[in-house]
Structure 1
Amino acid sequence: MAVRSKALILFPLFITILCLSFPATATSSSDVDFLYLTLTWPGTLCTSEKCCMPTTGEPALDFMVEDIKTYNNQTGEIVKNCKKTCQFYVNMMKDYINELYAHWSDLSCPSNNGLKNWKKTWCTYGQCSNLNQHDYIQTALNISYHVNLLEVLDVNRIVPSSSTRYKLQDIQNALRVNYGLSTHIECVNTWWPIWQPRKSLLSKINFCISKDGKSIISCPFNTETTCHDEVWFYPFTSNMLHPCTPDSAGLIKMPTEQYSAV
């Protein structure tokens, strides 16, 4: 009996240690401390792989929204898939749908209208936030307008070029002066052909955002850049986009019902 009592005493201790060793994955809005916006540079994307003209028309020749994630401050982990089901309403975005066409296009092939990407972002991350679908998706657009990356880089004489390399430190300094410690830079590093020098191509610039989506904030964690000391910032032009087939072109048709999920 004494042996059994001792085992019963040790069992809760074992469970406690087990829980501490394997922390629960953050899966609710209460776990979200900040948002993480990723803006991608199409000049690098379309140099590294084939890009196609969206079915909704030519996008802006600018940094493009890739997604906006939800993060937990204490764990530094992404908070995602908070609900088992997801309803996505196109009509909720009709007041800024043209901005989505221009600044959150999907340039992958075959040509598409971008709807799949917006829905994935909302269902995977947005439902974990305290924002509704309209405001969550719009937050990505608002912040991308606010930071105005191309202009900030241009003021610092960092412009898209196929013949000029830039010092990573100069890019980081330009971002730091304008945005503080709210950014993280990513690059695509080329390794082929092997007889040419390796190139580091500016790929993405990420921003930490307050959980209400209203302002950029200092990132609560440090992430090492994937860029080398010298970075290429290739131009992006519309002729880099392969044309879509005639039968695939067209804008998204809004459902006639006010709240019709897709």
Structure 2
Amino acid sequence: MACVMRLLGLLFVLVCSLSLPLPSFHSVVATGQREFDYFVLALLWPGTICQATHHCCSSNACCRSNPLPEFTIHGLWTDYNDGSWPACCSHSDFDIKKITSLLPTLEKYWPSLYCSSSSLCFGGKGLFWAHEKHGTCSYPIIQDEYSYFSTALGLYFKNNMTEVLNNAGILATNGEKYPLGDVVATIKRAFGATPLLVCKHGSLEELRLCFYKDYKPRDCVTGSDILNGMPHSRNSCPRYITLPTYAPLGLADSSKMALEAFDALTVA
């Protein structure tokens, strides 16, 4: 399955099969893609996403009975210093059994928020995590499926950005605007490196934290930053941003759907 290239300021489209058994990583070299330079932990702000995807929320986490109160994981990505990235480094089958113990945690903190990548995507043939393309390119640092997802979860819990912002008085609310510089400075002070923010219509949509291969914080860079000298987060965010809330319709039980899908796969 072909990968869909991302555009600056837009979100990645998760379309490629994930498979991280050790032999599959040799395809990184075979496809002519060099080893990545650093990790990006991409986090989504549900209030911004769900306002745009409420019409299809019966197939995603935006319809849960209670609104998601915190950042959720979008992905753990592998990037190059020049702003480009490797992707789809393997086309082997994804083995859901390897992450069975992680499923409840993934559904809570790494749910699908989009219409096109629900937990029961592609006709119910697999959970949407099976289409996370970036893990296939994380070799040799990460060498299997379980390690990929558990590493992403570990970085997420260690760097609780929702708590960091709340402690600074930057709260989810409809109407309150916060200076972009204050938000970036608050995150940088707690994280130890400069993040990258992506906004949509003046609201925070995505927060990216960058790490060296040993998982120590590093400043985020993009190709446009290097070529145009643009300061971080200024390319898509205004001087004042919001962290909106949303009213869920309470139509979906994403965790139940995911576990039922897994049961169906194991029985088959």
Q: Same fold (TM over 0.5)?
A: yes
Distance across 2 between alignment mates of 1:243 and 1:136:
31
CA distance in 2, matches of 1:60, 1:28: 40
Counterpart position of 2:70: 62
Q: 1:110 to 1:217 in 2, by over 3 A?
A: closer
User: 1: distance between equivalents of 2:213 and 2:128?
Assistant: 21
Structure 2 match to 1:16: none
Q: Please say if 1:39 is aligned against 2:40.
A: no
Aligned-pair CA distance for 1:27: 5.1
Match of 1:72 among 75, 80, 83: 80
- Corresponding position: 1:119 with 2:156: no
Answer whether contact 2:72 2:110 (CA < 8 A) is retained. Answer: yes
- Seen in structure 2, the aligned counterparts of structure 1 residues 86 and 242 have a Cα distance that, compared at 3 Å, is farther
Kindly tell me: are residues 102 and 76 of structure 1, through their superposed partners in 2, closer, same or farther at Cα, counting changes over 3 Å? same
Query: In terms of Rg, which structure is larger?
Result: 1
Matching residue of 1:15 = none
RMSD: 3.2
Distance 1:210 1:133, change over 3 A: farther
Greater strand fraction, Structure 1 or Structure 2: 1
Q: Structure 2 CA distance, aligned partners of 1:82 and 1:119?
A: 14
Q: What letter corresponds to residue 243 of structure 1 in structure 2?
A: L
1:105 aligns with 2:105: no
Q: What letter is aligned with 2:48?
A: T
Question: Within 5 Å, which residues of 2 pair with 1:149-164?
Answer: 149-164=161-176
CA distance in 2, matches of 1:175, 1:66: 18
Contact 1:39–1:66 at 8 Å: present in 2 too?
yes
The counterpart of 1:133, out of the listed 145, 160, 168, is 145
Matched, 1:206 2:208: yes
Alignment of 1:182-197 (within 5 A): 182-189=194-201
Q: Which runs of 5+ in 2 are unaligned?
A: 1-28, 121-125, 226-231
The alpha carbon displacement at 1:176 in A equals 1.1
For the Cα contact (< 8 Å) 1:184–1:207, is it kept in 2?
yes
Tell me if 1:233 matches 2:243.
yes
How many residues get paired? 216
Alignment-mate amino acid for residue 120 of structure 1: H
Identical residues among aligned pairs (%): 24
Corresponding residue to 1:253 among 235, 240, 262: 262
CA drift of 1:168 comes to 0.6
Give the Cα separation in 1 of the matches to 2:189 and 2:119.
36
Structure 1 residues 216 and 120: alpha-carbon distance in aligned structure 2, compared to 1, 3 A threshold:
farther
Secondary structure class of the residue paired with 2:73: strand
Give the alignment's TM-score, normalised by structure 1: 0.71
One-letter identity of the residue aligned with 1:36: V
1:86 to 78, 83, 92: 92
TM-score (norm 2): 0.69
* Distance 1:27-1:185 versus aligned 2 partners, 3 A rule: farther
What residue identity is the alignment partner of 1:203?
E
